[in-house]
Amino acid sequence: MAEQRVKHYQVGTFAVGNRLLPPEERTVQARTERSNSLTSGHRACQGCGEALGARYALDAAMRATGGRLVAANATGCLEVFSTPFPESSWQLPWLHSLFGNAPAVASGIAAALRAKGREEIRVVGQAGDGGTVDIGFACLSGMFERNDDVLFICYDNEAYMNTGVQRSAATPPAARTANTKAIGPEPGNEFGKGKNVPLIAMAHEIPYVATATVADLRDLEAKVGRAMEMRGARYLHVFVPCPLGWGSRSRDTIRIARLVKETGLFPVFEAERGEVTSVSKIRRRVPVTEYLKLQRRYAHLFTPERRDDLISRLQAIADRNVERFGLLSDPEEAAAMPGEATDLAGLPPDGDAPPERAGEETNVMRLLSETHGGPR
Partner 1 sequence: MLEQLEGSAAVARAVARCRPEVISAYPISPQTHIVEGLSDMVRTGELEPCEYLMVESEFAAMSACIGASAAGARAYTATASQGLLYMAEALYNASGLGLPIVMTLANRAIGAPINIWNDHSDSMSQRDSGWIQLYATSNQEAVDLHLQAFRLAEQLSLPVMVCMDGFILTHAYEEVDVPGQEQVDAFLPPFEPGIVLDPDAPMTIGSLVGPEAFTEVKYLMHAKQMQALDAIPTIAAEFAEAFGRESGDLLSHYRTEDAETVVVALGSVLGTIAETVDELRDEGVKIGAVGVKCFRPYPLEEVRAALADADRIVVVEKAFAVGAGGIVGQNVRLALSGLPARVHDVVAGLGGRPITKKSLRGLFDDVFADRLEVGKLHFLDLKRDVVERELERSRPSPGPHAERILRDLGIVAARSH
- 41 binds partner 1 per the rule CB under 8 A: no
> Quick one: how far is CA 216 from the chain centroid?
10
Rounded Cα distance, 208 and 126, in Å: 16
Kindly determine how many residues on this chain lie close enough to bind partner 1 according to the rule CB under 8 A.
46
Please say which residue, 108 or 326, places its beta carbon nearer to partner 1.
108
DSSP class of 299: G
- 70 binds partner 1 per the rule CB under 8 A: yes
Which of residues 51, 58, 72, 318 is near partner 1 by CB under 8 A? Answer: 72
CB of residue 100 to partner 1, shortest distance in Å: 7
- 138 binds partner 1 per the rule CB under 8 A: yes
- 224 binds partner 1 per the rule CB under 8 A: no
* CB atoms inside a 10 Å sphere around CB 68: 16
- 180 binds partner 1 per the rule CB under 8 A: no
Please say which residue, 119 or 186, places its beta carbon nearer to partner 1.
119
Please say which residue, 110 or 282, places its beta carbon nearer to partner 1.
110
Q: Is-contact 85 61, C-beta < 8 A?
A: no
Which of residues 142, 225, 232, 274 is near partner 1 by CB under 8 A? Answer: 142
Rounded Cα distance, 257 and 158, in Å: 12
Please name the amino acid found at residue 322.
Answer: V
CB of residue 171 to partner 1, shortest distance in Å: 24
- 373 binds partner 1 per the rule CB under 8 A: no
Rounded Cα distance, 325 and 262, in Å: 13
Which residues, in sequence order, are bridge partners of residue 366?
none
Rounded Cα distance, 89 and 92, in Å: 9
Q: Which of 61, 60, 102 is nearest to 78 (CA)?
A: 102
Residues 94-123 that bind partner 1 (CB under 8 A): 94-98, 100-101, 104-117, 121
- 80 binds partner 1 per the rule CB under 8 A: yes
CB of residue 147 to partner 1, shortest distance in Å: 12
- 237 binds partner 1 per the rule CB under 8 A: no
- 313 binds partner 1 per the rule CB under 8 A: no
Please say which residue, 15 or 70, places its beta carbon nearer to partner 1.
70
As a whole number of Å, the CA-based R_g of the chain is 20
* CB atoms inside a 10 Å sphere around CB 346: 10
Residues in the chain: 376
Please name the amino acid found at residue 21.
Answer: L
Residue ranges that bind partner 1, judged by CB under 8 A: 67-70, 72-73, 79-80, 83-86, 88, 90-98, 100-101, 104-117, 121, 138-139, 141-142, 145-146, 148
